[in-house]
Structure 1
């Protein structure tokens, strides 16, 4: 991507809310609702925002100043910034090849990129774009042969970091998606046709690319004859409930770093560590699974305190700015992942939007660190303002 083509986006989209507003105007309503929405009454979604806003940081303006260094080391690999692109499912309904756009942007910026099992790009294609920045997120199939093959395919690409998501014991109840017919199988309704017709750029791009499919699991669906068979397969075979015994089984079959995503309290963190996890992602799935879940920003400190020091504790859920990244770092996260922001980016500006989203988050984080007089990201914790102090 030409640098000039990204730089000209700054006046158009100066922050993630700008990307969101532009995305709303460029993609159909059902696709936007899928990205923006949470489960049930969206209480957890709003709780994430409120809890992040409550974290305040104290600047030490007269302390010695040096320009901030955002670089970090994670599982022995050096990255340019302490944030990455979270695993995102069904990316193709937001914009064709969105996952590959994200993967290329992550490699160029040298940040982690995580591919979801339910992405519309394959393990092999995404890994070829992200190269050594490629991580894979596994929804373990109940079919053991398919599970083993997915893990093998990730390993064959050179992937060193496998993320197992544990907080999807049941499908999230998302009323917006239900009303929009965005289910398995998807329903084409007069409403969705009308919404698509109102977004000609999206419609033309989607027609050229073809309807999105679950690319990584497509090889296992060769004998399925119709969309209902595919729906039954996804419901009954694709995702199994992850508990500690299953996590131990996956640990035995994976030689790289095992990371458990969906941790939201210390007890589960300790179970994950006992099962052999090398890292944790503190997360409530962005408010998309359990509407009564506590905000991740409120649980990370107790989780980090409970696990051994060598366990890498990361976080996601609700990240909409570099300020939010700083807030998570202040609570003890070593790396912070964002999802929705990156989908808004490609929806708003295509491939250039993937790079521009990284630029926005990096520039905002750098500005916060400069204000705080932080030389590196490890120092941000010192600037957290305790609620009991002024």
Structure 2
């Protein structure tokens, strides 16, 4: 199958699996421990059904939404993903450009191969910068400074990696620091000659350019990656680190990776403008709940003023609609866009984003909702077998009115 014939996000995964060596595919696909959390993230969406309303004029639909003061064309964005250049040359720039063309946000990982300065220049209005706090306070402060100087509007601080997790696929494949192409890895990779040739032609492991300034002069990619490994994770990171970032950052601040309602409250008290409810795509704590499970409790904890974004396990437009009904303003996904980049480069990413956009539009029409921002819990029906739901409640008068005469 060629990426141009992909009809859903999982098709890109299948194409990428054929194109990438196992060590690279498993790095994208894998999770922590037994990978139960990966399945839990998907299963959570099956706990809800979308309850359609018919005889509503849905000849025009609007899936745009406002996030942190900016209107985007669709209610989704691209999650931060590290080492994307290993799967597709210049992947970070391509992801940013595709996001800009679709008018959705791209969260650039500090563990990216492209530098924040270069990627922001490629898509200045659509790049949010995601950072981890390191063991070095001076570097933390400098990352914030660089984001300001580059013109980044939204800063995202990920807090859910206090220590490295047990990613068994990576360990079995030898994907660890320091990274070395062992004979076994090379032998398996030869079944994917296009990737091997590209890997050799581009000089091997790509440089983590955000960290290059903090290494010794002339450091190669492996040395910079090892430096990153000494700086992160940082188990001593606390609320004080977040407070210092808030004091230094004048723009919108997003905290990513919270699952506990009390943590969500504390983050908003310290000035977080939005939260990404996430379990790191099942890559950190295998026993963690799914973000969708925790979304209603976090919404109740922070009230209506804090914007919530769902991350982890999103694979369909219907997932994004369900998340909105439970209180999220938008959703993020990362693995599918990496697979799309591996499958077709920039054109593959464009197609993946268009597929999700089309799915959101179709679902809105199917359930009788003309505007994404008009979604509410009245469109949901619980699927839990051992629980009999109450009869659907009539929507409040303003919502019913909007369903009949929406102008959004």
Shorter-chain TM-score category?
over 0.9
Which of 49, 61, 64 is the matching residue for 1:71?
A: 64
Q: In 2, Cα distance between the equivalents of 1:374 and 1:78?
A: 19
What does 1:345-360 correspond to in 2, within 5 Å? 345-360=340-355
Q: Is the 8 A contact 1:107 1:129 kept in 2?
A: no
Q: Which of the two has higher C-alpha Rg?
A: 2
TM-score, normalising length: structure 2: 0.90
What's the offset of the Cα at 1:386? 3.4
Q: Is the 8 A contact 1:27 1:347 kept in 2?
A: yes
Which of 279, 285, 288 is the matching residue for 1:290?
A: 285
What's the offset of the Cα at 1:278? 0.7
Q: In 1, Cα distance between the equivalents of 2:124 and 2:223?
A: 34
Which of 104, 119, 130 is the matching residue for 2:123?
A: 130
Which of 116, 119, 133 is the matching residue for 2:109?
A: 116
- Could you tell me which residue of structure 1 aligns to residue 21 of structure 2? 28
Q: In 2, Cα distance between the equivalents of 1:223 and 1:203?
A: 28
Which of 192, 195, 210 is the matching residue for 1:199?
A: 192
User: Does the alignment pair 1:51 with 2:44?
Assistant: yes
Q: In 1, Cα distance between the equivalents of 2:355 and 2:276?
A: 23
- Could you tell me which residue of structure 1 aligns to residue 300 of structure 2? 305
5+ residue gaps, structure 1, are: 1-7
Which of 214, 223, 228 is the matching residue for 1:220?
A: 214
- Could you tell me which residue of structure 2 aligns to residue 385 of structure 1? 381
What's the offset of the Cα at 1:30? 0.7
Q: In 1, Cα distance between the equivalents of 2:99 and 2:66?
A: 15
Question: Cα–Cα, structure 1 residues 152 and 302, in superposed 2: closer, same or farther, change >3 Å?
Answer: same
Deviates more, 1:325-334 or 1:198-207: 198-207
Question: Cα–Cα, structure 1 residues 100 and 20, in superposed 2: closer, same or farther, change >3 Å?
Answer: same
Residues 89-125 of structure 1 deviation map (CA, whole Å, 9 limit, x = unaligned): 1111222211111000001111001100101111011
User: Does the alignment pair 1:164 with 2:160?
Assistant: no
What's the offset of the Cα at 1:196? 2.2
Deviates more, 1:158-167 or 1:91-100: 91-100
What's the offset of the Cα at 1:228? 7.7
Q: In 2, Cα distance between the equivalents of 1:221 and 1:334?
A: 39
What's the offset of the Cα at 1:16? 0.8
Question: Cα–Cα, structure 1 residues 47 and 81, in superposed 2: closer, same or farther, change >3 Å?
Answer: same
- Could you tell me which residue of structure 1 aligns to residue 228 of structure 2? 234
- Could you tell me which residue of structure 2 aligns to residue 344 of structure 1? 339
Q: Is the 8 A contact 2:32 2:165 kept in 1?
A: yes
Q: In 2, Cα distance between the equivalents of 1:228 and 1:74?
A: 37
Question: Cα–Cα, structure 1 residues 46 and 260, in superposed 2: closer, same or farther, change >3 Å?
Answer: same
RMSD: 1.8
The 4+ residue runs of structure 1 with deviation greater than 4 A are: 223-232
- Could you tell me which residue of structure 1 aligns to residue 99 of structure 2? 106
- Could you tell me which residue of structure 1 aligns to residue 265 of structure 2? 270
Q: Is the 8 A contact 1:185 1:227 kept in 2?
A: no
TM-score, normalising length: structure 1: 0.94
Q: In 2, Cα distance between the equivalents of 1:44 and 1:158?
A: 36
User: Does the alignment pair 1:19 with 2:12?
Assistant: yes
Deviates more, 1:25-34 or 1:371-380: 371-380
